[in-house]
Amino acid sequence: MSAIATVDCDVLVVGAGPAGLAAAGAAARAGAGVVVLDDNAGPGGQIWRGAGAGVAAPDARAAAPWLDALEHPRVQPLAGARLFAQPAPGLALAETPAGPLAVRHVRAVLCPGARELFLPFPGWTLPGVAGAGGLSALVKSGTPVAGQRVVVAGSGPLLFAVARELKRHGARVLLIAEQAPRGRVARFAAGLWRWPAKLADALAHRAALAGVPYRTGSWPVEALGGEALAAVRVSDGRRVREIPCDRLACGFGLVPNAEPARLFGCAIAAGGAVATGARQETSVPGVFAAGEAAGIAGLEAALAEGAIAGLAAAGAGEIPAGPRRARERARAFGAAIARAFALRDDLRALARPETVVCRCEDVTRGALADQPGWRAAKLHTRCGMGPCQGRVCGPAAEFLFGWGAESVRPPAFPVRLESLAAAGEVPPGGTEGP
Amino acid sequence: MSARVTLSVDGRAVAVAAGASVAAAIEAAGVAVFRHSVTGTARAPLCGMGICQECRVTIDGEPHRLACQTACAEGMRVETAAAGGSRGVGR
Ligand SMILES: Cc1cc2nc3c(=O)[nH]c(=O)nc-3n(C[C@H](O)[C@H](O)[C@H](O)COP(=O)(O)OP(=O)(O)OC[C@H]3O[C@@H](n4cnc5c(N)ncnc54)[C@H](O)[C@@H]3O)c2cc1C
Ligand code: FES
């Protein structure tokens, strides 16, 4: 039996997005030794993806002071390292390019962020159809879109950030289709003065997107094409328009990545986010959660929650009022987004009986229609049993059929066999004080 | 900043910016279909962030690698569905 590479730390931080960076910095400055795991090749998470590598530019300046956390002498960043199991308290297993790695820790801060909500509609599996944040992430990593015609669709303020990113890389953004009705979006915009940073963002987006039509009360009903996308059909409830395009970037909001917290045994709140308290503590002693995994509220909330969690995990007594206030303000913004961009019922009717819902196993809506729930669907149709382990079709099925999610079993992510073998032969875990 | 790496996609050489993902290199090589699903339909990246597994390709002989989360390296060999990489394998 080969011994597994092992590192020890006071605080394990999972995720090097804004929340994880803030947590790592705060914990290290408070005296803790920190290991930061992230499954991407570089730090930054979603919004600051590539900021360190020079691929993405405009956000790099905002990201720089936070990325500095990784330079702290007490912080050890590990890129390309994906947490996949927690065989015992105080012991986490990650898959890295160099093989499996055991991280013994006293406390953990989970900051794995969020993913997009994808809803099935005819043609959504065609190459050329990607997520909204998804295409933005791909472009930030170098995927070429210059000169291409792109329709951006779905819901939420993220669509603006995405359209802007695409335009900056030379794409022709033909339309931004927002499913939320005009009245709700207008009320949301009118209330933005309460978050000056968000108002400034919104104005900057508007200026950068001058000439790009933004249509509320509009949603994609079908993507057309043979082996690749050729056009998208967009409805406003009365009329359907067909728009020839090279790409469709479509996402219907964000879903917390709760899997790492489930691995640690943490309670999940209604709505799917990790349940946290005033110090960002979860239901498991010594385990904290921050950022969008703990509730969808954007960048400022992720930074404030990360700082609080980092301090708490390092054993700080009192949490300063600054980050606590910032967290409250940012969470109010998250709540305003949830209200304004709630999804319309029409979206439940997009998938036809022959439309694939589970992309890994090609399970259609028709095959799922008779199933009483998620567990039965998995058993009888293999829905959610493929490599993504239900992380795409699970939230979609929840929206379509009202099925609840369920607990994960390790590995929560696809791993190589050698990593799985490692789970059985790891050294005993660290200790956890109450 | 403008350093470039050269790799091969389905046998064809492509040069991309250092730091670019394998997914970016595949599209830069003009390949739109990354893999085929269990029933044989064409697929390409959906999430861009390591969730959906639709971007799986063969990298340096190892199948089922995520193109969206793998950075390009000099001399890397990438095979998509067109070259039989990750073809028809769902799990
Ligand atoms: C695809 C996408 C694109 C987005 N683009 C923008 C944008 O352009 N502008 C904007 O304002 N907001 C954007 N958002 C919203 C964004 O989520 C928040 O603004 C902010 O980045 C949240 O910070 P976070 O630290 O909570 O999470 P994230 O930034 O998501 O960071 C979480 C990190 O944890 C890593 N991780 C997850 N699971 C594991 C694991 N098991 N092991 C190791 N590492 C793991 C992830 O790879 C990621 O790097 C986007 C969201 C998504 C899903
Ligand atoms: S595009 Fe979804 S995992 Fe790579």
Based on its alpha-carbon atoms, the radius of gyration of chain B, rounded to whole angstroms, reads 12
Ligand nearest to the CA of A133: 1
Tokens read off for A8: 């020890």
pLDDT at site A311: 98
- In angstroms, the CA A137 to CA B51 distance is 12
**Ligand 1 atom nearest to CA at A46:** 29
Interval A315-369: pLDDT, tens: 998 999 999 999 999 999 999 999 999 999 999 999 999 999 999 999 999 999 9
Q: What is the 3-state secondary structure (H, E, C) of A44-107?
A: CCCCCCCCCCCCCCCCHHHHHHHHHHHHCCCEEEEECCEEEEEEECCEEEEEECCEEEEEEEEE
Residues of A in Cβ contact (< 8 Å) with B78: none
User: What are A96-149's pLDDT values in tens digits?
Assistant: 988 999 999 999 999 999 999 999 999 999 999 999 999 999 999 999 999 999
* pLDDT reported for residue A69: 95
**How does pLDDT run along chain A (434 residues), one tens digit per residue?**
457 899 999 999 999 999 999 999 999 999 999 999 999 888 999 999 876 554 445 567 789 999 999 999 999 999 999 999 999 999 999 999 889 999 999 999 999 999 999 999 999 999 999 999 999 999 999 999 999 999 999 999 999 999 999 999 999 999 999 999 999 999 999 999 999 989 999 999 999 999 999 999 999 999 999 988 999 999 999 999 999 999 999 999 999 999 999 999 999 998 899 999 999 999 999 999 999 999 999 999 999 999 999 999 999 989 999 999 999 999 999 999 999 999 999 999 999 999 999 999 999 999 999 999 999 999 999 999 999 999 999 999 999 999 876 545 555 666 776 676 766 665 444 433 33
**β-pairing, B4-9 with B12-17?**
antiparallel
Is the CB–ligand 1 distance for residue A122 below 6 Å?
A: no
Looking at ligand 2, which atom is closest to the CA of residue A130? Answer: 1
Predicted local distance difference test score (pLDDT) of residue A222 = 98
Ligand 1 center to A214 CA (angstroms): 25
How many Cβ atoms are within 10 Å of A376's Cβ, its own excluded? 14
Angle at Cα A115 formed by Cα A112 and Cα A120, nearest 5°?
Answer: 155
Q: φ and ψ at A224, to 5 degrees?
A: -115, 145
Q: Which atom of ligand 2 is nearest to the CA of B48?
A: 1
Q: What distance in angstroms lies between residue A351's CA and the mean position of ligand 2's atoms?
A: 22
Compute the distance between CA of residue A374 and CA of residue A15 in angstroms, rounded to an integer. Answer: 28
A chain contacts of residue B70, beta-carbon cutoff 8 Å: 41
Cβ–Cβ under 8 Å, residues A383 and A400: no
The two three-digit tokens of residue B21, written as one number? 């993902």
Q: Are A145 and A128 in contact (CB under 8 A)?
A: no
Contact B46 A392 (CB under 8 A): yes
- What are the start-end ranges of the E strands in A111-228? 114-116, 129-130, 149-154, 172-178, 214-215, 219-225
What domains appear along chain B, each with residue ranges and CATH number?
A: 4-88 (3.10.20.440)
Burial group, residue A406, by CB count within 10 angstroms (0-12, 13-18, 19+): middle
Say what the ipTM of the complex is. 0.93
For testing the chain A interface, which of B22, B38, B49, B69 should be mutated: the one with the most A CBs within 10 Å?
A: B49
Q: Which helix (H) or strand (E) holds B5?
A: strand B4-9
Distances from the Cα of A390 to the Cα of A190, A214, A398, angstroms = 38, 32, 11
Q: DSSP label at A343?
A: P
Nearest CB among A137, A359, A391 relative to B48 is that of A137
- H helical segments located in A95-194: 132-140, 158-168, 182-190
Verify whether ligand 2 is closer than 6 Å to residue B48 (CB atom). Answer: yes
For the Cβ of B11 lying below 6 angstroms from any atom of ligand 2, the answer is: no
A413's CB contacts (< 8 A; 6+ apart) are A82, A83, A84, A95, A259, A389
Report the pLDDT value the prediction gives residue B9, as an integer from 0 to 100.
Answer: 98
- Give alpha helix (H) positions in A341-373: 365-368
B22 lines ligand 2 (CB under 6 A): no
Q: Of the candidates A434, A414, A431, A111, which has an alpha carbon nearest to the alpha carbon of residue A256?
A: A111
Tell me which amino acid residue A72 is. H
Pairs across A and B, CB distance < 8 A: 139
A-chain residues within 8 Å CB-CB of B38?
360-362, 386
Structure tokens at A205: 């987006």
Written as tens digits, the pLDDT of chain B (91 aa) is 468 999 999 999 999 999 999 999 999 999 999 999 999 999 999 999 999 999 999 999 999 999 999 999 999 999 998 876 544 444 3
pLDDT at A417: 66
Work out which ligand 2 atom sits closest to the CA atom of A388: 3
Please give the residue of chain B at the shortest CA–CA distance from A130: B46
Alpha-carbon distance A129 to nearest alpha carbon in chain B (angstroms): 7
Task: Name the region of A284 (left: φ>0; alpha: ψ -120 to 50; beta: rest).
Answer: beta
How distant is the Cα of B70 from the closest Cα of chain A, in angstroms? 7
- In B, minimum Cα distance to A226 occurs at B42
pLDDT attached to residue B73: 96
Predicted local confidence at residue A422, as pLDDT: 67
For residue A88, report the phi and psi dihedrals to the nearest 5 degrees: -150, 155
Rounded distance between C-alpha atoms, residue A349 and residue A128, angstroms: 22
- Give alpha helix (H) positions in A275-371: 298-313, 321-340, 365-368
Rounded to a whole number of angstroms, the distance from the CA of A194 to the nearest CA of chain B is 32
Of B91, B77, B79, B87, nearest to B35 by C-alpha is B87
- Nearest CA-CA distance, residue A31 and chain B, Å: 32
Residue A410: the pLDDT is 53
Contact, A95 vs A4, CB < 8 A?
no
Pick from B34, B39, B47: which is nearest to A131 by CB?
A: B47
Q: Which residues of B touch A53 (CB under 8 A)?
A: 18-19
Task: List chain B residues with CB under 8 Å of A170.
Answer: none
Inter-residue contact A52 to A149 (CB < 8 Å): no
Ligand 1 closest atom vs CA A293: 26
Mutate to test the interface with A, among B52, B86, B89 (most CBs of A within 10 A): B52
